[in-house]
Amino acid sequence: MRAHLGDQLVIESQRTGATRRDGEIVGLHHEDGTPPYDVRWSDTDEVTLVFPGPDAHVRQVEHGRPGTTRGPAQPDTGEAEAVSAVAPPTGGPNPGDIGRRVAVERRRRGLSREETARRARISSAYLAYLEEQPAEPTVATLLNLAAALGTTSAALRGAGVDLPPGQGHALLHPQLRDLGPEECRRLLSTHGVGRVAVSTSDGRPAVVPVNYEVAEDAIVFRTAPDSVPAAAVGTEVAFEADHVDEALSQGWSVLAVGPANVVTEPDAVRGLAQRAHTEPWAGGAREMWVSIRPTSLTGRRITPADQ
């Protein structure tokens, strides 16, 4: 079975009393037009991922002549046909990246796949497929997912990944409030990416990003002895982590200040390595663990005034 965008998928069984169902194919997942398909059903207007069974056939629309059909598709002969695939243009986003961004945003907001699918008016099976496979959702599906997750379709596509955050418009009535130590600890959570401010060997200030973990109220990160972050050892440093919600023009930041020291106890080093959530993104041999024990922990959050 092969199809083009805009073709009609018809499901009708030979069994007496079986309900006929049809819908428009609005998304392809393979360049040769083979299943599965994203289908917008005529009876519900919902888009779902469909793996056609033996009761299904495609009614193909003549290209350039909307509204005309050529009848049921011919059996697959194994010869490639020219199709209008929905693969992104050259230089566009990797379809798999969209699914990963959807999954991360969904988990960040504490939503299940079922609830997200319900809000976006898609099937949970299709959402699972989108998050786990290099699929390219239709524009309508992407817009619905963005609305369900409180973000934008551009953000889910990765627009602006090379731009600094916070270029959106400020809130009309923003509220800036201080955060207490407990909320700061909660926001730092267990791990993430933060920035450590140090003075380098030539006396110049530097701020560098590091993958960090939180262990027993200490902020720890791995680095190499000759790296810039290693200059933190034996000094009092500042460590900052934040999050900016571009879609809602709000966010938070946490600042920790305290002495930094090398973790030398072998069992402690082994424990940190075993519990680490990720390898350092910078790669390479980074086996020196640095621990920052905050003597000061402060933070701020920007929200709409009515929240």
Sign of CA dihedral 40, 45, 50, 54: negative
Q: What angle (nearest 5°) sits at the alpha carbon of residue 121, between those of residues 55 and 47? A: 35
pLDDT-derived band at 118 (thresholds 50, 70, 90) equals: very high
For the stretch 243-273, pLDDT in tens is: 988 777 889 999 999 999 999 999 999 999 9
Is 110 within a domain?
yes
User: Is 101 found in the same domain as 68?
Assistant: no
CATH number of residue 190's parent domain: 2.30.110.10
Question: Residue 24's pLDDT is what?
Answer: 85
pLDDT for the residue 153: 81
Together in a domain, 200 and 129: no
Model confidence pLDDT, tens digit, residues 179-220: 999 999 999 988 899 999 999 888 899 999 999 999 988 999
| 120 within a domain of the structure (yes/no) | yes
Q: Going by C-beta distance under 8 Å and a sequence separation of 6 or more, which residues neighbour residue 230?
A: 223, 224, 288, 290
Q: Specify the pairing of strand 250-262 against strand 236-245.
A: antiparallel
Question: Phi and psi dihedrals of 39, rounded to 5?
Answer: -120, 130
Q: 115 is in which domain, residue-wise?
A: 95-157
Mean pLDDT of the chain: 82
Helix (H) or strand (E) holding 205: strand 205-215
Do 236 and 117 share a structural domain?
no
**Residues 54-99 pLDDT 10s:** 888 888 765 444 434 444 433 332 222 222 223 333 344 455 788 8
The answer to whether the CB of 23 falls within 8 A of the CB of 11 is: no
What the block records as the tokens of 20 is 């006929």
Indicate whether 116 pLDDT > 60: yes
Per-residue tokens: 158:
């990765």
